[in-house]
Amino acid sequence: MLTKAVEQQGLFDAKFRITRDDGVLRWMSGYGRVIEQHQGRSVRMSGIMFDITDRKVAQEALLQADQRKDEFLAMLAHELRNPLATVRNGLTILGLTGQADATTSQTVSMMNRQVDHLVRMVDDLLDVSRISRGKIELRWERLDLRDLVVDVLEAIRPQYELSHKGLHASFWPSALVLRGDATRLTQALTNLLTNGLRYTYATRARMGK
């Protein structure tokens, strides 16, 4: 690259390794340009070089940490698949052999939806490269937002009841049909309601002191 910069009378900007006289390997960053020519030939170049070894070492450590994170996520996803499969099978058996009362049917249906969401999130973990790039695929479908909100409320209401908190909702009279990713919307609504429960409790606890 230096030879090319001299021949073309251009800029030199590169990172490279050198070995010092004591045998120590160092990373350098060099920048320079031709400042004097004679009969069309470059005869003098001015520039500066920095020792960037510490920065390169830090970058390599970050890359290794990121790789270990990806490996952990992949391992975690594989490990989660087995208990999820057991839960799914148990719900299937319960749905076939359980009592046909409304409460049991509603509970099994709600649990199945939650397992579906968990399976979807585990699938996301398995695609480690997509997570690393911050790209999560959206699965567009036609859905009724009102039904989705009802499902989320049914799933999280027991947490509110255990904390002795009220959870009230009013709905628009007609269906609100839209195109969206049901799992992602469910996650967003669940997070909002969970945070509401958590911080309402924290606020009351502070006020009571």
pTM of the predicted model as reported, rounded to 2 decimal places: 0.45
Are 153 and 169 spatial neighbours (Cβ–Cβ below 8 Å)?
yes
Tokens of 50: 């920095």
Mean pLDDT, range 51-68, rounded to an integer: 86
Q: Give CA–CA dist 112/122, Å, rounded.
A: 15
The whole-number pLDDT of residue 202 equals 43
Mean pLDDT of the chain: 77
Are 89 and 108 spatial neighbours (Cβ–Cβ below 8 Å)?
no
Mean pLDDT, range 67-82, rounded to an integer: 77
Q: Confidence class of residue 203 from pLDDT cuts 50, 70 and 90? A: very low
The whole-number pLDDT of residue 208 equals 44
Q: Give CA–CA dist 56/17, Å, rounded.
A: 11
Domain 57-137 fold: Helix Hairpins (1.10.287)
Are 54 and 19 spatial neighbours (Cβ–Cβ below 8 Å)?
no
The rounded Cα 171 to chain-centroid distance in angstroms is 32
| Most distant CA pair in the chain, distance | 98
188: nearest Cα among 130, 148, 137, 144: 148
Condensed to tens digits (0 to 9), the pLDDT of residues 100-153 reads 677 777 788 888 888 887 877 777 777 665 666 566 677 899 999 999 998 889
Strand partners, 125: none
117: nearest Cα among 179, 186, 195, 178: 186
Mean pLDDT, range 49-70, rounded to an integer: 84
- pLDDT above 90: percentage of residues in the chain: 5
C-alpha radius of gyration, the chain, whole number: 30
Q: Where are the domains of the chain?
A: 2-51, 57-137, 140-209
The whole-number pLDDT of residue 45 equals 66
Q: What is the DSSP letter of 179?
A: E
Please check whether the two domains, 2-51 and 57-137, share a CATH topology: no
In 18-101, alpha helices (H): 53-97
The rounded Cα 42 to chain-centroid distance in angstroms is 51
Condensed to tens digits (0 to 9), the pLDDT of residues 3-15 reads 665 566 666 677 7
Domain 2-51 fold: Complement Module; domain 1 (2.10.70)
Condensed to tens digits (0 to 9), the pLDDT of residues 153-182 reads 988 888 888 778 888 888 888 888 999 988
The secondary structure of the chain in percent helix, strand, coil, rounded to multiples of 5, reads 60, 20, 20
